[in-house]
Structure 1
Amino acid sequence: MADECFGHPRLAAIYDPLDPDRSDLDAYVRMVEEFEARRVLDIGCGTGVLALLLADRGIDVVGMDPAEASLDVARSKPGSGRVRWICGEAAALPALQADLVTMTANVAQEIVDPASWQQTLQRSREALRPGGLLIFETRDPARRAWEGWKRESSYAVTDIPGVGSVESWLQVTDVRLPLVTFRSTYVFAADGQVLTSDSTLRFRERQEIEADLLAQGFAIHDVRDAPDRPGREFVFLARRPVAHSV
């Protein structure tokens, strides 16, 4: 089930204006170019920012997300007709023979249930062509990012055309490692409505993720730094091996 910040229509509609700097996606665009990928599956595509960036470059893109409200926003954007949008979770992943499967931002960490995580990896592997890559990022638990998720450091007021002023902030509500739960609060000045969204992220150690990937038949191609967040995240590149005939 999608968090309210993605699944509630009013919150999905303001997701992009509240987070306009998506320079974190530049690294994914570069990796698509690096590996000469022509077909990409973007799991947890949200409002479709990466999917549309790639489609604008002539890439065949499938964007998948469990939040219909976020996909509605994606479908409303220019060029959205060039992307195939699928509402669903891992069990609904199609067999695509994709060159690349991506999970950007918090997507991998939002899959907190171990069985669902294993299923996502398994279905991602099945969606790839032999030799294709799964690429995703996850925060390094040792950096304890959640300690900075406080109202005083995250509070912002954003003026959004057609919506008005929106106050927003984060606050951690529970830490039981490897799980961290936090609440996002939104206050709409236009009518005073207050909406909240509770999210839980799973902070996995590097060795745990590598073991999970190997267990699902991947080969570890590389583990990189996130260029815009050096030393804070792992970017995993896992390859579906090419079967060799005997």
Structure 2
Amino acid sequence: MTGQAEYNDPRLVALYDLQNRWSADDGFFLALANGQPGSRILDLGCGTGRLTVALALARHRVTGIDPARASLDVAQAKPGAEAVRWIHGTAEDAPEGAFDLALMTSHVAQIFVEDAAWAEVLGHLHRALVSGGRLAFDSRDPAARGWEVWDSGDEHEHLTLPDGQELDTWTKVEGVADGRVTFTGYTHFPASGETVVDRSTLRFRTEAELRRSLVVAGFEVERIYGGWHAERVGEGCGELVVVARKPR
């Protein structure tokens, strides 16, 4: 797993929430969950808890798991967070046979760069679901080549955090090879002169690769959409939105 600073540095966690507000992806996963009222839901890689808390407020029984302590601290301070069971850990810490639905949102699936790590997390999710339980997650479609617009070039974004700190951010794409995209995020704090450098690698798996990995892990693939409005793959917004099921 790479790119840890944005999840572990409290200043960057605040920036994450500023840049990532509720959007169509959250609406998709919330609607999916609401199709089965009162579900027991695992939100793996819950981060700062934007969707996690919304699921709990919709009267689901929710467990949020994340390895980043700073992100969990922010999540647990949000209104409604007391209704969530928060776990500082990884998929390995998910209880067995405890969930009707497991979610990995905000492209958490792409953090597992190596196939062995991806297979391991799928195995843990399969174990954590009840018979007939579902798994849903998003992963960017490599065919859309979304990384081509990530590089900021000479343009920096100037932002102000809720505590009044000002900063500038920019991104450089370092390399694209074998389904892996490596990029570096820069965050400069003018007041202190400090620049935080966060280098990350994400895995872009094709639809076929995702299907194969899910079948090997014991899942049945129900649907793969190309966007947040149930578009066909290649006709949406460059996403692969996966819904799979643990067979009964």
- Same fold, TM exceeding 0.5? yes
1:51 counterpart residue number? 52
1:19 counterpart residue number? 20
CA deviations 1:126-158 (Å, max 9, x no partner) are: 111111100001111111111111114973211
Q: Is the 8 A contact 1:44 1:103 kept in 2?
A: yes
Q: Which amino acid aligns with 1:180?
A: V
CA deviation after TM superposition for structure 1 residue 40, in Å = 0.6
2:80 counterpart residue number? 79
1:240 counterpart residue number? 246
Q: Is the 8 A contact 1:210 1:220 kept in 2?
A: yes
CA deviation after TM superposition for structure 1 residue 96, in Å = 4.6
1:64 counterpart residue number? 65
**Greater displacement, 153-162 / 59-68:** 153-162
CA deviation after TM superposition for structure 1 residue 224, in Å = 1.6
Aligned residue-pair number: 242
Task: Give runs of ≥4 in structure 1 deviating > 3 Å.
Answer: 152-155
CA deviation after TM superposition for structure 1 residue 34, in Å = 2.2
Q: Secondary structure at the match of 1:13?
A: helix
1:128 counterpart residue number? 129
Q: Which amino acid aligns with 2:227?
A: A
Q: Which amino acid aligns with 1:101?
A: A
Query: In 1, distance between residues paired with 2:202 and 2:100?
Result: 28
Change (3 A) 1:96 1:69: farther
- Structure 2: gaps of 5 or more residues: 230-234
CA deviation after TM superposition for structure 1 residue 25, in Å = 0.7
Change (3 A) 1:115 1:37: farther
**Greater displacement, 134-143 / 222-231:** 222-231
- Write the mapping of 1:21-170 to structure 2, written as runs, cut at 5 A: 21-36=22-37, 38-152=39-153, 155-170=156-171
Query: In 2, distance between residues paired with 1:107 and 1:208?
Result: 16
CA deviation after TM superposition for structure 1 residue 199, in Å = 1.2
Identity %: 37
Q: Is the 8 A contact 2:14 2:161 kept in 1?
A: no
CA RMSD of aligned residues (A): 1.8
CA deviation after TM superposition for structure 1 residue 38, in Å = 1.2
Query: In 2, distance between residues paired with 1:237 and 1:36?
Result: 17
Change (3 A) 1:154 1:222: farther
Q: Is the 8 A contact 2:107 2:137 kept in 1?
A: no
CA deviation after TM superposition for structure 1 residue 124, in Å = 0.4
Change (3 A) 1:153 1:222: farther
Query: In 1, distance between residues paired with 2:184 and 2:89?
Result: 24
Query: In 1, distance between residues paired with 2:38 and 2:28?
Result: 14
Q: Which amino acid aligns with 1:32?
A: A
2:232 counterpart residue number? none
Q: Is the 8 A contact 2:170 2:186 kept in 1?
A: yes
Query: In 1, distance between residues paired with 2:22 and 2:60?
Result: 22
User: Is 2:228 aligned against 1:227?
Assistant: yes
Q: Secondary structure at the match of 1:77?
A: coil
Query: In 2, distance between residues paired with 1:79 and 1:105?
Result: 21
